[in-house]
Structure 1
Amino acid sequence: MKKVLTAGTAVAAAVLLAACGSGQVGGGSGGAVQNNKQLALIPGVQAEPFYISMQCGAEAEAKKLGYTITTQAPQKFDAALQTEKVNALGSNPPAALLIAPTDDTAMLAPIQQVANRGTKIVQVDTSLKDSSIAVSSISSNNTEGGQLAAKTLADLVGTKSGSVLVLDTIAGTSTTAARVQGFSDELKNHPNLKSIGVQFTQNEPEQAAAKVTAALASTPDLIGIFATNLNTGEGAATGLRNAGKIGQVNLVGFDASPSEVDGLRNGEYQALIAQDPAMIGQQGVDQAVAALENKPVTKTLTAPLHSITKTNMDANSQYFYKQQC
C-alpha cells in the first residue's frame, strides 16, 4: 500500500549519525532513540484509501515541521502481520511511532517494546484498551459515527418497517466495535427498524458479500445494511448487486473510498459516513512532535464525521479519500 519512502533507511542512518553529536529530542527512559527527526507510521493495512489519506496528511505535516516520516503497512488487517512491522523497527527505533493498532489487546506487548526504547507512541484511528502507553490518541468519535449512520438510515427509510443487518470487521477492532455500539443504541429509537444482529466479515469483501446473500435469503423484509468500514461496504454492495437488490435495500457505508463514492453516485450506496483521515494523520504528527519537543500534548483528539448522500456529495467532495498522495 503505502509509498514507503525510498530513502527511508538512508535517512534513518544519516539522522542517527547527526543525533550522536547534536543531542536527542524526546528520548525516553530506554535512551535508545537517536533518530530525533525520524517518525514512523504503521497503519492498519496496505492499499486502503483511508490509510493512504492518513499517510498523505502525516507526510505533509512532517515535512512542514522539518521531520521525516516513513510508512510500513501490513498486507492484511492482522495483529501478527502488524507485529512484524513493529518488531522490524528493531534496535534503530524512530523518535515517534504513529500506529493504528489492529487488535486492542494483542498489539500492546509489541508497541510496549518500542516505547521501552524511548520512542513516543501516538495512536491514530484505532487504539489499545490500555491507552496509557500513548502520549496521544487521535480518531473519529466512532460511537457518534454509528449513531449518525442509524439516524441517516432512519431518514432514508422514513416510515417504512423492516430488518437491518450490521456488518462488522474483526472482533477486537476498537473503532468498528464502537460504530456498532453507537448504531445499535440509536436504532432502538426507531421502532420501525429491527436489527437482525451483527455479522463479522474478517475484513474481507468476499465474506461481506456472502453474509449479505445469506441475509437476503433468510430475511425477506431486509430494508437496510450498515457496513462498518470500507471492505465490508464494498462486499455488501457486491452482494446486493449479485442479488439484483441494488436500491431496494438501503446500504449505509462507513468511509468514503473512491469505489464507495462511485457506488454512492450510481445508487449502490444510499449514504456514506465519511471520516477525515488526512486530519488524523496531521494531528498525529503534531502531537508526536509536541511530545518530542517538550511542548503541551493533548491526550485525546477527535476528528469530525460527515453524513454524505447523493444529494449533498458534491458539496462534501473534500472528504473523499485518496488513492495516492
Structure 2
Amino acid sequence: MTTFHRSARAAALMSAAFAIAVTGCSSGSGDPGVTHVTLIQGVKGNPFYTAMACGAQEAAAQLGVRLDVTAPDQFDASLQTPVVNAVTAKRPDGVLIAPTDAVAMRPPIKNLISSGAKVVEVDTALEDTTVSTAHLTTDNQAAGKAAAAKFNEILGGKGKILALSSAPGISTNDERVAELKKALTNYPGLEFAGVQYTKEDATIAASVVSAALTAEPGITGIFSVNSPSTQGAATSLRNAGVANRVKLIGFDAGPQQIEQLKQGSVAALVAQSPYQIGRDGVQYVVDAVAGKEVPKSSLTPVMVIDVKNLESPEAQNFVYKTDC
C-alpha cells in the first residue's frame, strides 16, 4: 500500500484517476481469446474506487486478462444504468460492479448476466443476493463496532453521535449506520442522534452538519460513512470553530482523508481494503468464467487510523494505493 501523498501529488493522482474512469484502462492484449473483464465503479474520481482499480489492474496483469474500468459521474442508479447497458453491449466475459442502489440496479445487472457475463458485486450489493455470482465487500459490521469503540475512547465515554450517509438503499452505507447504532448500545454514555443524508456531496454535507449542530447543540460526535460527506463535515466543523469539541470519524484513507487527519479536521478514519477488493474481485471473476467455484460472499478487513498510529506499518497497509 502507498504511503501518505502530499496535496499536489494527490491532485495529480485524482486527475489521473478521473482519466482512467472516463477512458477505461486495459491489461493484456486485444486477442479475442483473452478473458475480458470490466470494473464498473460506483462513481468517478473517488480514492476508494481508484485504489480498487489499482488492485484490479494488478490482478489482471498477473492473470493475463484484459481489464476495462468505467464509472458514472455521480453515485446514482439513473446514471449507472446506462453505463451498465453500454458495458453489456460490449459483451465482456466478466464484470465487477459496485451497484449504486440495492434495488434499482437489479434489472440492468440481470440483463448483463443474461448477455453471458459473470458478475461479482464489489463494495455495495443488490438486495437480491441470488442475482450475481459473488459479493466482495468491507466487513461493515466490524467497521461499525470499531467506530463506536473509538467514539467511546475519544469522547470519554459520553456523547451524542450523528451519522451521515448518502441516501437510503445503499447497502454498505445502511449497514455501517445500523452497526454503529447497534454497537453504541454497548456504551451507556453514548447516544445515537439519528442519520441524515448528503447525496454523497460535500457541499450538502457541510450544510447538513451546520443545521444539525444548530438544532441539536448536544451533538459531540459525527460518523461519516463516505469521503465526500467527511470532507463536508470537516469543513462545517472547522468553519464553526467546534472541531475540538465535535469529533469526526470518517470512512476511507485516501490522500485527502489522510491530509484531514494530519490537520486535525478528522479525529479518526475507518480505513477499508479497496485494493484487496479489486485484486480478489478480478480473481473471482476469472475463476467464475473458467467454471471454478468461488465464495458467494467475502469480507475484507478494516482498521481505525488516527495520528498516533498513522505511520505504523499496519496502518500504512490500509492507506489507499492510488498511484498505479
Contact persistence 2:54–2:322 (CA under 8 A):
no
1:150 matched residue in structure 2 = 148
1:95-138 Cα deviation digits (max 9, x unpaired) = 00100000000000001101001100000000001121211110
1:40-119 pair list within 5 angstroms = 40-119=38-117
1:272 matched residue in structure 2 = 269
Within 1, Cα distance between the matches of 2:52 and 2:322? Answer: 11
Q: State the aligned residue count.
A: 305
AA aligned to 2:111 is: Q
Q: Which runs of 5+ in 2 are unaligned?
A: 1-17
Within 2, Cα distance between the matches of 1:196 and 1:136? Answer: 35
2:240 matched residue in structure 1 = 243
Q: TM-score, normalised by structure 2?
A: 0.90
Secondary structure of 1:71's aligned partner: strand
Secondary structure of 1:94's aligned partner: coil
**Residues 7 and 168 from structure 1, CA distance in 2 versus in 1: closer, same or farther, beyond 3 angstroms?**
closer
Asked whether 1:170 is paired with 2:187, we answer no
2:207 matched residue in structure 1 = 210
**Residues 7 and 130 from structure 1, CA distance in 2 versus in 1: closer, same or farther, beyond 3 angstroms?**
closer
Q: Residue 193 of structure 1: CA displacement?
A: 1.6
Identity of aligned residues (%): 38
1:225 matched residue in structure 2 = 222
Contact persistence 2:134–2:294 (CA under 8 A):
yes
Within 2, Cα distance between the matches of 1:91 and 1:49? Answer: 28
Within 2, Cα distance between the matches of 1:50 and 1:140? Answer: 12
1:136 matched residue in structure 2 = 134
Q: Residue 228 of structure 1: CA displacement?
A: 0.9
Asked whether 1:189 is paired with 2:155, we answer no
AA aligned to 1:49 is: P
Within 1, Cα distance between the matches of 2:170 and 2:22? Answer: 28
Secondary structure of 2:20's aligned partner: coil
Q: Residue 298 of structure 1: CA displacement?
A: 1.1
Q: Residue 2 of structure 1: CA displacement?
A: 5.3
Q: Which moved more, 1:279-288 or 1:149-158?
A: 149-158
Within 2, Cα distance between the matches of 1:63 and 1:94? Answer: 17
**Residues 162 and 114 from structure 1, CA distance in 2 versus in 1: closer, same or farther, beyond 3 angstroms?**
same
2:319 matched residue in structure 1 = 320
Find the partner of 1:258 among 240, 255, 258. Answer: 255
1:140-169 Cα deviation digits (max 9, x unpaired) = 11122112111111111124x332111111
Within 2, Cα distance between the matches of 1:144 and 1:127? Answer: 17
2:125 matched residue in structure 1 = 127
Within 2, Cα distance between the matches of 1:127 and 1:139? Answer: 8
CA RMSD in angstroms, aligned pairs only: 1.9
**Residues 303 and 90 from structure 1, CA distance in 2 versus in 1: closer, same or farther, beyond 3 angstroms?**
closer
AA aligned to 1:98 is: L
Contact persistence 1:258–1:322 (CA under 8 A):
no
Q: Which runs of 5+ in 1 are unaligned?
A: 20-35
Find the partner of 2:296 among 288, 295, 299. Answer: 299
Contact persistence 1:147–1:179 (CA under 8 A):
no
Contact persistence 1:2–1:73 (CA under 8 A):
no
Q: Residue 318 of structure 1: CA displacement?
A: 2.4
Secondary structure of 2:68's aligned partner: strand
Q: Which moved more, 1:178-187 or 1:133-142?
A: 133-142
The runs of 4+ residues in structure 1 deviating greater than 4 Å are 4-9
**Residues 301 and 163 from structure 1, CA distance in 2 versus in 1: closer, same or farther, beyond 3 angstroms?**
same
Secondary structure of 1:279's aligned partner: helix
1:281-322 Cα deviation digits (max 9, x unpaired) = 011001001111122311111111001111001111221124
AA aligned to 1:266 is: Q
Contact persistence 2:39–2:97 (CA under 8 A):
yes
